[in-house]
Structure 1
Amino acid sequence: MSTTLGVAMVEATPSAALRPYVLRLCAYREHYAAPVTRSEPAFPGSVLILGFGTPMEAGGQRVTSFGGGLSDRFTVTRTAGPAEGVEVFLTPFGARRLYGLPLRHLKNHLVPTGDLLGPWADLAVERLASTPSWHDRLALADRLLCERIAAGPSLGPELPWAWARLLESGGRLGVSSLADSLGWSHRHLVARFNDQIGLPPKTAARVIRFGRAVRLLRSGTSPAEVAVECGFYDQPHMNREFRELGDTTPGQICPRPGDAGRASLAS
């Protein structure tokens, strides 16, 4: 592994077959002079790390490769040594099919990939580690994920439809409206969300709204305008949501003169 300090990344767009399930793929390598601690924000998806090198601290444990479900809070990670691998940003439905279990069991949890995916995970990491080209490594990850997800449990069209509507609304679409559109009871909608997404619809909407607010702040929209646009009750309400979901404040995200792009929250 290179001893150059810092982080290097190369992203790849998932193949057409993978796009309903994977938002993006990223090959990475990082090595710092001292341990680096980060607060990873909640976002409307799931992260899978197929890594090798020095274990990192995440979710109160030391892991090299891990995955998990959606979260309604930020996660603290600490990188203490050189590591590399492939980071996979999954849609909820990609995570549901990849892991093959109800996502409510993975809410706010990070689990070693061996426990989540069995021997497939060890083989995937071994093959990725032996592939030196990052382009080839990302292509290999795409193929491996396509095969694994295709073998996962089939999902009906209703939840992907409801999820798309919630994303389009920026988290502002009411739960009762979703249930009425599907012809479901509120209880049935919540049960299906917990199974296939891992969060109840109202909580999922909070996470989606937070992500939209971050994007608007980064674009230069003022915090006051963002609070109104995203449907927060008031500025203090938005501040509380940012602390709970991202361990940050709107002021830390809002670009400042000469300080554009300073925020490190994932979109």
Structure 2
Amino acid sequence: MYEERPSPLVPGAVLWRSDGPGGAVLPDGCMDLLWTGGRLLVAGPDTGPHPAGEVSGEDPGGTFWGLRLAPGTAPALLGVPAHELRDRRVDLAALWPGAEVRRLAERTGTYPDPREALEELARARADAGGPPDPLAAAVRAGVRSGRSVAAIARDVGLGERQLHRRSLDAFGYGPRTLGRILRLQRALALLRAGTPQAEVAYAVGYADQAHLGRDVRALTGRTPGAHAPPPDRAPGG
């Protein structure tokens, strides 16, 4: 079982819970704070499918609570460049002082819903630290509107190489890869709603349906049809 809801305290973040074995976590440009088995962990930005619940030392069928942070916002909270955590799940104690993490873990374990503790942790870090790199919002807006990397670099007053380096710190990958991943998420939302593949390809900016198919397979390991609702189930049913 999986359920999620927007965070009322952390802008752009999502609170989620997963029980039992699942499928795969797909690339979304985000990083997550996790709580499971009495441990605080961080899920870095993914570049491909990651087995749901696969964390060293944990039962993949166990319960996970998470706070999914909007793309580009986690490094300011964690104090670690996103690319250092790309495609990784690590203990928070590997990033912060062990005594502090033990205290936070003990506190999180007292909450009936550990997601609320993760939310408060993130909010406290945001209040104590600096804001996210404003470049992240500009890059997100640029790639979502379909602007080229060269155009985004001009918009923010950087060279393309410097933009790439700053994007690695903020997102874990460069703006071109970020654009592919955010476009993938828009495509998956339409596919899950039952939208025909040709219409999905046109709506989100793929060259054609074949391009949609190649990108979805490359980033998720499955065909676009595998993400659509079964023929005998109405969308949303």
TM-score bracket for this pair, using the shorter chain length: 0.7 to 0.9
Separation (CA, whole Å) in 2 of partners of 1:10 and 1:107: 23
Question: Pick from 194, 199, 202: which aligns with 1:225?
Answer: 199
Determine if the alignment matches structure 1 residue 197 to structure 2 residue 171. yes
Determine if the alignment matches structure 1 residue 25 to structure 2 residue 15. yes
Residues 151-203 of structure 1 deviation map (CA, whole Å, 9 limit, x = unaligned): 34544423322223333x2xx22111211212221112111111112110000
Separation (CA, whole Å) in 1 of partners of 2:154 and 2:176: 15
Partner of 2:111: 131
Separation (CA, whole Å) in 2 of partners of 1:210 and 1:144: 30
Partner of 2:139: 162
Partner of 1:236: 210
Determine if the alignment matches structure 1 residue 73 to structure 2 residue 62. no
Residues 94-116 of structure 1 deviation map (CA, whole Å, 9 limit, x = unaligned): 31112102112112222122212
Question: CA 1:221–1:182 in 2, change beyond 3 Å: closer, same or farther?
Answer: same
Q: Offset of 1:8 from its aligned partner?
A: 6.5
Tell me the secondary structure at the aligned position of residue 92 of structure 1: coil
The count of aligned residue pairs is 232
Question: CA 1:255–1:198 in 2, change beyond 3 Å: closer, same or farther?
Answer: same
Residues 20-77 of structure 1 deviation map (CA, whole Å, 9 limit, x = unaligned): xx52113x3625xxxx352211112112212226xxxxxxxxxx54213222211123
Q: Offset of 1:84 from its aligned partner?
A: 3.5
* More strand, by proportion: 1
Separation (CA, whole Å) in 1 of partners of 2:2 and 2:138: 36
Report % sequence identity: 26
Separation (CA, whole Å) in 2 of partners of 1:175 and 1:10: 33
Separation (CA, whole Å) in 1 of partners of 2:120 and 2:234: 37
Partner of 1:143: 120
Tell me the secondary structure at the aligned position of residue 70 of structure 1: coil
CA RMSD of aligned residues (A): 2.7
Instruction: Verify the 8 A CA contact 1:29 1:82 in the aligned structure 2.
Output: no
Instruction: Verify the 8 A CA contact 2:66 2:115 in the aligned structure 1.
Output: no
Separation (CA, whole Å) in 2 of partners of 1:84 and 1:152: 30
Q: Offset of 1:209 from its aligned partner?
A: 0.8
Residues 200-253 of structure 1 deviation map (CA, whole Å, 9 limit, x = unaligned): 000000101100111121233211121222232333332222122222221112
Instruction: Verify the 8 A CA contact 1:69 1:95 in the aligned structure 2.
Output: no
Which deviates more from structure 2 when the two are superposed, residues 229-238 or residues 91-100?
229-238
Letter in 2 for 1:230: V
Question: CA 1:10–1:177 in 2, change beyond 3 Å: closer, same or farther?
Answer: closer
